[in-house]
Structure 1
Amino acid sequence: MVPDPAVLRQALDHYLALAADGDPAVAVTAQNAAYTLCVLTGTRTVEEAMSAVRVLCPESMTPGPSRPRTLIVPTAESGSVQPEAVS
């Protein structure tokens, strides 16, 4: 099953906006958005989800002027949120 590109783009934009916020108060919401990306792409980690987005909807990964350069990635060990650089 392949997610609708518009839905995938919306979920990606939502996640990236939360990741760019940097406010610890939005950490749980960012984790929920990361989980949604994983469900939509059939993956288990944000890293895998981002790779899947590149394949399923490459136009979603086109950098724009407002695209953040850092993602918030929940770690499996602690459930905490760690920044990860995006190339």
Structure 2
Amino acid sequence: MSRYKNGNPKRQSRFICLQCLQENKLAQGIQRKSQRKKFHIKDLTCLNCDGKICKCIEVRYCDSFDEVMDKAKELSKMYYSRENINKENNRKVG
């Protein structure tokens, strides 16, 4: 039997929200059976963005947090430019 009930805590993934560029506390500690590619992007709920579903970039246990944060700033401009946010807010429904 394994010592760890919920997986190995040393292999937990963390996520950075690409909209607010803060660590997503809701998705902290996701365990993976196999490792995802570097800079994997996932749609997750972010508490910092009022519970909206946002794009988040994965920080694997073997990655440098600063390196992933630099990449997140670059990708944030692509996914959440001011023009895209204004288009989403001004969209008519119905």
**Bin for the TM-score computed over the shorter chain:** under 0.3
- Higher relative strand content: 2
TM-score scaled by length of structure 2: 0.26
- Higher relative helix content: 1
